[in-house]
Amino acid sequence: MLLIQNAIIVTHDEEQQQDILIENGQISALATHIPVTEAMEVIDAAGKLVAPGFIDVHVHLREPGYAYKETVKTGTMAAAKGGFTTVAPMPNVDPVPDSREHLAVLEALIARDAAVKVEPIASITLDEQGETLVEMSELAPKVIGFSDDGVGIQEANTMYQAMLAAKKIGKPIIAHTEDDSLKNRGYVHEGVYAQQQGWRGIPSVCESSQIARDITLAEATGCHYHVCHISAKESVQLIREAQAKGISVTAEVTPHHLVLIDEDVKDSQGKMNPPLRAQADREALIAGIIDGTIAMIATDHAPHSEEEKARGLELAPFGIVGLETAFPLLYTKLVQPGIISLTKLIQLLSMNPADVFQLYDRGCIAVGKQADLTIIDLNKTAPVDPQTFVSLGKNTPFTGMELQGWPVMTLVDGKIVYKEKE
């Protein structure tokens, strides 16, 4: 048995001090005071926030195939350090998890190396080529959804057939939305700033036009359609209107799209896909999380080697790492200024992804739930230092930024998987 004493738990914007008793990997009791017995191991969380373990439905663990960028071991260790107890890796690896045989390669790595819970996502099409659909019914028991992340499904009929198949088995289509014909070989947001710098831009309509198409298909099929890493104000409005009509559409946004804009891009560390967009887009994304249009925050943790990111803005790969900085970044930039409440942030990181992706045994602190917990020192302030990351990826635009509110311990099924060095 494990007893966490003096935990600060946030419920409906009220802070309550509670003791949490954990037995057999589950929360067995919650009370203002639980007497200590000899059978208990005790953790004193006095002055610390204890939150339900964060759930990230969009990460890149890079294995199998690209272990020089990240591994299941290092990626899940980074997740644990950042307070995440469940992650869902995207399928753009080698081999792509497009069959039971290929998925088994990833499952073996997870069984051997994962520090936290890993919920795989299978591809929509074979080898993510956008043509032949995978056998979804065969893969469904092993995955939480289907995505050709990294590339948008270009053919409307392919997406239509995918949604019909996913609806039959009760799984979501998790869509990277990008119309290749509108990319224009761009590598930043198409706007005034890009024009001033002489950079090729990717217009917002590259994203929103495919979302508009897919919403129509989701309405026709009744499929649960989940939109990855939205970035544009037009996308937010399309999703808001679709939800008002009762269409089964959910969406995620990244921490970096909530706190940065295109003018913050100085070099390849600020290059991601979708790109950082204008201030009006950032404001629309924030409005979307406040009113519930956007259900969750996902990091899109995308590690690359330092050599790859050193190729310069135009040639470097898209993507930044995010697992180890997500909570302090969001706490510092959104909660402390009063833009959103701490309760709202925890909903976006824990409760909502658990609910949307039917991970009902986790995502909240309650008796009977799995003891996936994150202990956070809300008073701890430290600069972002990529050299301290446990992720192999050091590619971040936040280097040197002073942030407050850092996870200091993470538990999965009641077992400590990360503890801050004293």
One-letter amino acid of 208: S
- Rounded Cα distance between 346 and 358, Å, is 17
Q: What is the dihedral of CA 322, 328, 331, 336, to 10 degrees?
A: -140
Task: Kindly give, in sequence order, each residue whose CB lies less than 8 Å from that of residue 80, ignoring residues fewer than 6 positions away.
Answer: 115, 116, 410, 412, 417, 418
Catalytic residue, from 214, 300, 372, 377: name it. 300
Task: Kindly give, in sequence order, each residue whose CB lies less than 8 Å from that of residue 315, ignoring residues fewer than 6 positions away.
Answer: none
- Rounded Cα distance between 322 and 396, Å, is 8
For 15-38, give the DSSP string. Answer: EEEEEEEEETTEEEEEES-----T
- Note if 355 is an active site residue: no
- Rounded Cα distance between 66 and 60, Å, is 10
The interaxial angle of helices 233-244 and 279-291, nearest 10 deg, is: 30
Strands 49-52 and 54-59: unpaired
- Rounded Cα distance between 37 and 91, Å, is 46
Other beta carbons less than 10 A from residue 66's beta carbon: 17
Count Cα neighbours of 383 within 13 Å in the Cβ-side half-sphere. Answer: 7
300: left (phi over 0), alpha (psi -120 to 50) or beta: left
Please report, for residues 323, 324, 412, 417, the alpha-carbon distance to residue 371 in angstroms, rounded to integers and kept in the order given.
20, 21, 6, 12
- Rounded Cα distance between 411 and 247, Å, is 36
In 4-155, which ranges are continuous DSSP H helix?
72-81, 100-113, 136-139
Residues 367 and 27: beta-carbon distance below 8 Å? yes
Residues marked active site are found at 300
